[in-house]
Structures are given as structure tokens and as C-alpha cells.
Amino acid sequence: MKLASLKSNSCRDGRLIVVSRDLQRASFADGIASTLLDAMERWQQVHSELNALYQALNQGDVESFAFDPRACAAPLPRTYQWLDGSAFLSHSALMQTAFNLPAIEGIEQIPLMYQGAGDDFIGGYDPIPLPSEKHGIDFEGEVAVMVDHVPMGCSAEQALSHIRLIVQLNDVSLRALAPREMKTGFGFLQAKPSTSFAPLAITPDELGEHWQQGRVALPLHVRWNNEWFGNPNGAAMHFGFHQLVAHAALTRSLSAGTLVGSGTFSNPDRRVGSACISERRAIEMIASGGQPSTPFMAFGDRIQMDIRDENGLSLFGGIDQEVVRAC
């Protein structure tokens, strides 16, 4: 099943629509759930109806309209909680080597995770407004899962059943602001502005055999200013999403609609490129003895990201955004 939130002047959270498998048509979910957050909070009650509408839409048996990904907000324009992990250990290893950082104790057993801002997400085709190029503007290609209510102390095995939807995202980062915030021990604030999301949230079954042990086992295709940047595969996650969800729920329950991210895609095989500028710069620093050659983003730059199935069809509707100066 594929769901999206159509932008609406009357509702900050958008209007829930069901989108056909081929991304050509869509139908309003009126009468079932008004918004995606509403659906998440009542998932057990509305899932069957939404799926029936999805099947009817794919068969052409229901009133529909042409689907336009640019008319969509983020699947959840806002939510109660956004938690982002760093589950690709090859990325962490690169950063430690490039910046001569000490090894993080227990990194192979305990996931890294920070709490981001969930109150103002950006649609995948909307501009990214930022105040200054001097902040070191970077993109980070990721996926995340959306859960229903997860009880405190939920095990990893139980957590898998609470994963209802999967989304694709660009975790925008401001690298010049990050070092100080990391040193304080309080985590990111200014270094993590609003996150961008591809228009579609999909159920795990849409991935078929590519949903493996709580991982999206497909490459993320990244282009910066229309040039190839990388296509790392999500199968390389050290921790599966069920483990990340269980980690987040160790000492508190998670509200329905909570998003848990993978961290930037990264593979040990450097030939597949990267999903963030910081990683490419780290590779350059190691190769040159300390000096990166790739700059961070400038106003007017475009970032494009997509995850496709074996037939080349976009699974999440893609991301295509321009970085602009905030008014």
C-alpha cells in the first residue's frame, strides 16, 4: 500500500490519499482517515479499509485523479517524535579515521541515535530554505520507519510488528554548526534543520524480497546538480529497524506516528559512492592527508534521491529539491 499527504490550505497535516502502485493515480481516503497521523493512531481499525481502497485503485474500480508528487507534503507534515539513528558503521568508521576521533565504546552493540525536530517537515519537491551557505549545507540520504504505538521495553522481535510504513528522506545537515553541538554532550539543535521526505509512505510488503531483516535492501540513487554522487545499498545497515525501534523504546513508549531513521546510507565498498557530502570529504581527507576538495552545497544547488524497484519504478516518489536562501 502507498499513502501520501496532499497539500491542503485548510489542514496543516494535509489530506490523506492512497496512491496506485504505478504512481499514476490517487484516491482520497475520506471517510476512512482524514490524515496520515489519524490513520497511524487508528491503524488496526483503518488498515483493512485503506488496503481495500488501494486494491480497488490499482484495478481501476474507484474514482481517482492523476497523482502529482509535487502536490504532496511530507507523508507526515509533522509528528510527535522524530528519532534518527546512525546504523551504517562504515560511515562512523570513516568519520573517526578522517577526523582522528576516538572509537565510540559499544558502537557495535548499542545504536547511535538523536532526537530531531518533528514539527516542520518539508515535502520532497519543495525548496530547502536555509539562512547561510557558511553553515556547511549537506544532504543525507536515508530511509525511516513509521510505527504505531510501541510499548516501553518492547523487544526487537516484537518491534518488527509495530513497523507499519517506510519512508525515504533527506536529513539536511549543517556541518559547520555540528562540532560545537556534539562537544556539549547535549546533541544536535541548530545543525539539524527541517528534514525533507519523499511523498510516499509505503507498507513493508511493497518492498517484497527487498525488505530483509528490518532493512531496505535496495540502492539509494543520489545525484547532486544532475551528476552521479552515489548509490549505496540499505542492506548494509548494522542494526535493523526492529533493533533501532527497540533501542528507542527501552525506557519510554513511542507514540503512533513516531519516525525512526536509518542514518545516512553508507557501504564499505567506496566504489558505490556516498549519500552525503561529509562522507565524500572524509574519503578525500584520508586520501590527501587532511584536505577535502568537495565543497558543501550552495544556494541554487539541487539534490535528487530515489529508491527504485527492479523494474526502475520509484518506490517512494523520489526527492528533487533546490537549496534556497531563507527569506
pLDDT at 185 over 90: no
Greatest extent of the chain over all pairs of C-alpha atoms, in Å: 62
pLDDT at 179 over 90: no
What radius of gyration do the chain's Cα atoms show?
19
Q: Which of 174, 206, 166, 167 is nearest to 190 (CA)?
A: 174
What confidence category does residue 289 fall into, taking pLDDT thresholds of 50, 70 and 90? Answer: confident
- Determine how many CB atoms are found less than 10 A away from the CB of residue 99: 11
What confidence category does residue 79 fall into, taking pLDDT thresholds of 50, 70 and 90? Answer: very high
Check residue 98 and report its DSSP letter: H
Helix axes 89-98, 277-288, angle to 10 degrees: 50
Dihedral sign (CA 287, 102, 186, 78): positive
Residues 6+ apart with CB under 8 A from 55: none
Residues 6+ apart with CB under 8 A from 238: 87, 88, 89, 108
Distances (CA, A) of 14 to 159, 232, 314: 28, 32, 22
Q: What is the pLDDT of residue 182?
A: 85
Q: Which domains does the chain have, with CATH numbers?
A: 2-71 (no CATH), 82-325 (3.90.850.10)
Mean pLDDT to the nearest integer, 293-306: 98
Residues 6+ apart with CB under 8 A from 187: 114, 115, 181
Task: Map grid coordinates 489542514 to a residue.
Answer: 11
Which is more confidently placed, 92 or 47?
A: 47
**H helix runs in 188-319, sequence order:** 241-248, 277-288
pLDDT at 122 over 90: yes
What confidence category does residue 70 fall into, taking pLDDT thresholds of 50, 70 and 90? Answer: very high
Q: For residue 114, what is its C-alpha cell?
A: 538523536
pLDDT, tens digit (0-9, with 9 covering 90-100), for 233-264: 999 999 999 999 999 999 999 999 999 999 99
- Quote the mean pLDDT of the chain: 96
Q: What is the pLDDT of residue 183?
A: 83
pLDDT at 327 over 90: no
Task: Assess contact for 250 and 155: CB atoms under 8 A.
Answer: no
Residues 6+ apart with CB under 8 A from 269: none
User: pTM surpassing 0.85?
Assistant: yes
Strand (E) or helix (H) holding 48: helix 43-58
